[in-house]
Amino acid sequence: MNVLRYLVAPLAASIAFAPAAQSAGDLDFKKIAPKVAQNVGELLEKAHYSRRKLDDTLSKQFLKNYLERLDYNHLFFTQKDVDGFNASYATKLDDAILNGDVDAALKIFAVYQQRAEGRVEKVKELLKGTFDFKSNRTVEFNRQKSPWPKDEAEADQIWRDRIEGEMLDRTLSKDKVDAPVKVITRRYDQFLRNLHEQGDEEVIAGFLSVLSETYDPHSEYMSRSQLDSFNITMSLELKGIGAVLTTEDGYAKIRELVPGGPAAEDGRLKVGDRICAVAQGDGEFAETLDTKLDKVVEMIRGKEDTIVRLKIIPVTATDPSERKIIEITRKKVKLKEQEAKAEIVEHKLPDGTTQRLGWIVLPSFYADMQHSGTTGAKSTTKDVAVLLERLKKENIQGLVMDLRRNGGGSLEEAVNLTGLFIKRGPVVVVRDSNGRENILKDRDPSVAYEGPMIVLDNKLSASASEIFAAALQDYNRAVIVGDSSSFGKGTVQTMVDLGNIIPLSLSGRGNGNEAGALKLTIQKFYRISGGSTQLQGVIADLKLPSLWDQADIGEGALKGPLPYDTIKDVSYDKLEKSLFKTELKQRSTARIAAEQEFKWIEEDIERTKKRIAENKISLNQQTRRTELDEDKARKEKRNAERAKIKHAEELVYAITLDNASKPELEPKKEKKDEKATAAHKEPNATKPADADGDDDEEVEAEILRVDPIRVETLHILGDLIEFNNTPAPATAQTQQGAAAQ
């Protein structure tokens, strides 16, 4: 199979944009659903890496997973419901799927919807009562591992405690815009509205996706709209007005405007505006109140250079009847926030000298897979090469590749990006279920950057990120810094377009997109040294304290991951040089021990572990208020201490794909209202116990704090540069060589 079609898929494939596909109109998805289900079942049996039979054993697990997908906190179904589902479907779903029968999905969902409607009615009755918040009872905040309520009476008690907890949260909140009852009622009304928007296509797609994920966590059925969203994620491009929508009280609401998009450039549409109708060109307006969000976006999105008109309720409107019409021409929108970007950091050393360091942030391994190989097709490797060229022109002395939160993407891009930092050679081995191995190689002898290098990752760095990090570690090319290990996803997926399998007479459209696609795990990948990243991830050479480094994050925390195994290593030319890992670790350990931010992180880690283990929240107002006061006092004390600490000022230049070729670079200016980004402000400080309880000063202090992970990584890179320029004693090098084996 062509490697261009391989994916080491992102952990979070979908983005905030709703799907771009045209409305299915009068297409009845139920017409093609039997054939779709049948093909999904057959492909999973015959083509999935595990070659696991779709039998009674898998059927039981499938049903269990589906019930937990619908009611993950075990709040709506009772044990009686679950027993009934088991009696009806536990050993029958396998045969049903292979026969194209998806009635179970709709029937189980109908019961779930009925239970939810009944529960919301009871919630509203509970909200009419009074709560004194003086009891010593507690409520579980996570019931995923708790048993289903044995009957309705037990469920009622669980919900009484839950609603009392929600009322207490709102009572303690500093946000007093609306009364607690009103806020909670609105929340559950929105929950029901979202539930009622689920049509047969969404229900069946969810059902088939759970079936796929029962084989392994990364196989997934994608409906037409989900596939479109996935393609947008990979290509970083869409055609529309560049607005991110959310839903509120039945309206589609503008949550964000994409910088450089038509809506942002036009300037009239504002964040917070609510859309109440949409018209195509000079056509009639179609009302959108209580319309499913995906459908609203389908109406707004369309062909490039066509016109869409929006009837909105302005966010500034004082009169609820005020309406405004905005006409916008659709354009191609580049999702630039998801592109690779870089910085030059003027890093000051204790002796007063300055190092010029490069920092590249890579959010994902993106690629325009639909137009791969064509001129102008989006490519991670091409973009990083452009940034590296500018960084070298600016005479950087060392480089950090920041892969924190990078969930993966294109396998080809992982191989090619590795090639920018090594001479030709093997990068990764992929093996199919028959044991056939294929060595994917970098065949380009040129090297884009040869200087000192660090790869920074964390527990959310997965798939392609792990291929890249593992290869550079095996080649002895870079020092891996971050969490104890990366995510641990060592599997390869391919996209199977079901429209190419289902007869055109059933698929609804000539291109067959209505049938969706199956993202199918077909291979596992292995390091050239013979190990696998599956479950184990890439072990960091230098570990930094981080709140992400938790046991419940990673491949091992998912349901049904494939096992870890190894293969024979392949021949490759490992760089025979010291990376001074022992010396780097000694210096880093000393700095971490002296750095107050890391001490706070360690405290937060222990507190988080304790809260997760206890899994309960008090329903006593005085107890909760004391806890909140303690949290507030702790944050205030930390912020006071932070204010006394003087951090070395660093001159930073931001480099984007837009300004990389410009003659001069402007120093980056920090804005006081700048939001913390995943790349530069990792959430390692204490997370508020109650986000609604934070005042503006506390929030600002959290946002503007120094990112200790970034600071320490720059220190480590500085040390690596120093050791490269002044070799360590022979004994230390020998010790390091032994440790690197």
474 counts as catalytic: yes
pLDDT band per the 50, 70, 90 thresholds, residue 119: very high
The residue among 524 and 17 whose pLDDT is bigger is 524
The architecture that CATH gives domain 237-334 is Roll (2.30)
Do residues 366 and 679 touch, judged by C-beta distance below 8 A? no
pLDDT in tens, 616-675: 999 999 999 999 999 999 999 999 998 888 877 789 999 999 999 999 888 887 544 343
Instruction: Indicate the average pLDDT of the chain.
Output: 86
The alpha helices in 509-620, defined as continuous H runs, are 581-594, 596-614
Q: Kindly list the distances between the CA atom of residue 203 and the CA atoms of 209, 215, 221, in Å, as whole numbers in the listed order.
A: 10, 19, 12
> In the chain, where does the domain assigned CATH 2.30.42.10 lie?
237-334
Rg (C-alpha) for the chain, rounded Å, is 27
pLDDT band at 391 (very low <50, low <70, confident <90, very high): very high
Q: Is pLDDT above 60 for 2? A: no
> What are the distances in angstroms from CA 358 to CA 21, 433, 451, 466, 719?
40, 41, 11, 21, 15
> Is residue 473 predicted with pLDDT exceeding 70?
yes
Q: Which of 474, 541, 707, 719 is catalytic?
A: 474
H-helix or E-strand containing 355? strand 354-361
User: Nearest-CA neighbor of 528 among 438, 427, 413, 455?
Assistant: 427
Residue 513 has pLDDT above 80, yes or no: no
* pTM score of the predicted model: 0.83
**pLDDT at residue 373 in the model:** 66
The answer, yes or no, to whether residue 399 has pLDDT greater than 80, is yes
3-state class (DSSP) for residue 251: strand
Q: Is 70 exceeded by the pLDDT of residue 704?
A: no
Helix (H, G, I), strand (E, B) or coil at 207: helix
Q: Which of 420, 491, 429, 489 is nearest to 461 (CA)?
A: 489
Residue 566 near residue 531, CB atoms below 8 Å: yes
Asked about 463 being catalytic, the answer comes back as yes
Structure tokens at 413: 């891009």
Determine phi and psi for 661, rounding to 5 degrees: -100, 0
Give percent helix, percent strand, percent coil of the chain, each to the nearest 5.
40, 20, 40
pLDDT > 50? residue 41: yes
CATH 3.90.226.10, applies to 340-363+385-577:
yes
Whether residue 18 has pLDDT greater than 50: no
Q: Rounding to the nearest 10 degrees, give the CA dihedral for residues 660, 664, 665, 669.
A: -150
pLDDT band at 605 (very low <50, low <70, confident <90, very high): very high
- The identity of residue 184, as a single letter, is I
DSSP annotation string for 265-278 = HH--S-TT-EEEEE
Average pLDDT for residues 521-538, to the nearest whole number? 97
Give strand ranges (E) for 314-353: 324-329, 331-334, 341-348
Look at residue 506 in the predicted model and tell me its pLDDT: 55
| CATH 3.90.226.10 domain extents, the chain | 340-363+385-577
pLDDT of residue 674: 40
Catalytic residue among 253, 311, 331, 489: 489
Dump pLDDT digits (tens) for 282-329.
999 999 887 878 788 888 988 888 999 999 999 888 877 889 999 999
For 142-171, the pLDDT digits (tens) are: 999 999 999 999 999 999 999 999 999 999
Burial (CB < 10 A; 0-12, 13-18, 19+), residue 161, is middle
C-alpha–C-alpha distance, residues 290 and 285, integer Å: 15
Q: Which of 465, 488, 490 is nearest to 478 (CA)?
A: 465
524 labelled catalytic: no
Catalytic residue among 212, 364, 463, 546, which?
463
The one-character DSSP state at 668 is P
